[in-house]
Amino acid sequence: MGLYRQLADIQERGVPAALVTVIRTRGSVPRHAGSKMIVFADGTTQGTIGGGEMESRVIQTALEAIQSRATELVNYEFRDPSEGDVGVCGGEMEVFVEPVQIPPKLIVLGAGHVGQALAHLGRWLGYHVVVCDDRVEFASESTNPEADELVHCEPDALTKHVEIHANTFLVLTTRSVEIDVQALPQLLESPAAYIGVIGSRRRWETTAKALQQAGVPQEDLRKVSSPMGLDINAETPEEIALSIFAEIIQHQRGGTGQPMGHDPKLD
């Protein structure tokens, strides 16, 4: 697969990666301006910008950029390794490291009424939507036509089927405490940005106690937002989905969740 086609595939699948481009060179260097390389979150690469110590350092910078989602401009000299340079060729290379912009991923576990409303709203908001259910009739295109991916699996097998990264938002809109207890231990070990569980406070207390008895540390349980969503007295599945997404966006953007109404100062 060509590099540009690989980039398109990365964006479509929501895979964390960074694009490295040589933008300026001078003197003797292993590759010249325009050379590109893709670095994936596990450290694997496609393409090369010259190999050796220089490329090793660029990969590390790219991995940091994937986490921070910030661009980097790095200069390397090939003169004296004893002074910290990356080689002895005598040249100089400037490299631009750019995280690949991928849509945030929404994983909906439990494809009932609220799950379907979340998938619809998530697609409209530009998320890569993955819908998962252990019932084959719910993990179907006819039930969830808005999903980018449909996964039919047991709740504790989700991570075997779907990649979860730091820009992933997990919402459990399941039908029982038992399913939440089954699913959450593996999900709490993931790097997901948000984990929300539907239900009442009493339901979450029951779930949390069962997880604690199963050995899940209390600090992991604090990663969960439950009952998830902002309090807007939502009733319908669509209103509940709106409440949940309001909390997700608040988490993404660092908002307060407070009303923005303002009394003007009038004479």
User: For residue 52, what are its two tokens?
Assistant: 């050796």
Considering only 70-84, 145-159, 191-205, which range has the smallest mean pLDDT?
Answer: 70-84
CA pair distance 31, 74, nearest whole angstrom: 15
Question: Residue for token digits 């909906």?
Answer: 108
List CB contacts of 217: < 8 A, sequence separation 6 or more.
Answer: none
Report pLDDT for 222: 95
The confidence score (pLDDT) of residue 41 equals 87
| pLDDT > 70 in the chain, percent | 95
Indicate if the pLDDT at residue 236 is higher than 90.
yes
Distance, in Å, from the CA atom of 96 to the CA atom of 77, rounded to the nearest integer, reads: 15
Please check the confidence at residue 28 and state whether its pLDDT lies above 80.
no
Cα–Cα dist 157/132, whole Å? 10
- Residue 246 pLDDT more than 90? yes
pLDDT digits (tens, 9 = 90+) for 151-186: 999 999 999 999 898 889 999 999 999 999 999 999
Mean pLDDT of 122-134: 95
Higher pLDDT, 1 or 183: 183
pLDDT at 228: 96
DSSP letter string over 173-233?
--S-HHHHHHHHHHHHTS--SEEEE-S-HHHHHHHHHHHHHTT--HHHHTTEESS-S--S-
Give Cα 142 to chain centroid, integer Å: 26
Q: Confirm if 195 and 132 have CB atoms less than 8 A apart.
A: no
- With b for 16 or more beta-carbon neighbours within 10 A and e for fewer, the 166-192 pattern comes to ebbbbbbbbeebebbbbbbeebbebeb
Supply φ then ψ for residue 224, to 5 degrees: -90, 135
Under 8 Å between Cβ of 170 and 118: no
For residues 27 and 133, the model is more confident at 133
Query: Is the confidence at residue 94, as pLDDT, over 50?
Result: yes
The confidence score (pLDDT) of residue 55 equals 81
| Count of other CB atoms within 10 angstroms of residue 250 | 15
pLDDT value of residue 102: 81
**Both structure tokens of 119:** 């998938």
pLDDT interval class at 82 (50, 70, 90) = low
**Residue 84 — very low, low, confident or very high, per pLDDT cuts 50/70/90?**
very low
* Average pLDDT value for the chain: 89
Mean pLDDT of 40-67: 86
Q: Is the pLDDT of residue 117 over 70?
A: yes
Q: What is the pLDDT of residue 140?
A: 92
Tokens of 82: 């004893």
Residue 85: the pLDDT is 46
Residue 1 has pLDDT above 80, yes or no: no
Q: For 137-164, what is the mean pLDDT?
A: 92
Q: Which pLDDT does position 81 carry in this prediction? A: 54
Is 87 a residue whose pLDDT tops 60? no
Q: What domains are defined for the chain?
A: 10-99 (no CATH), 105-253 (3.40.50.720)
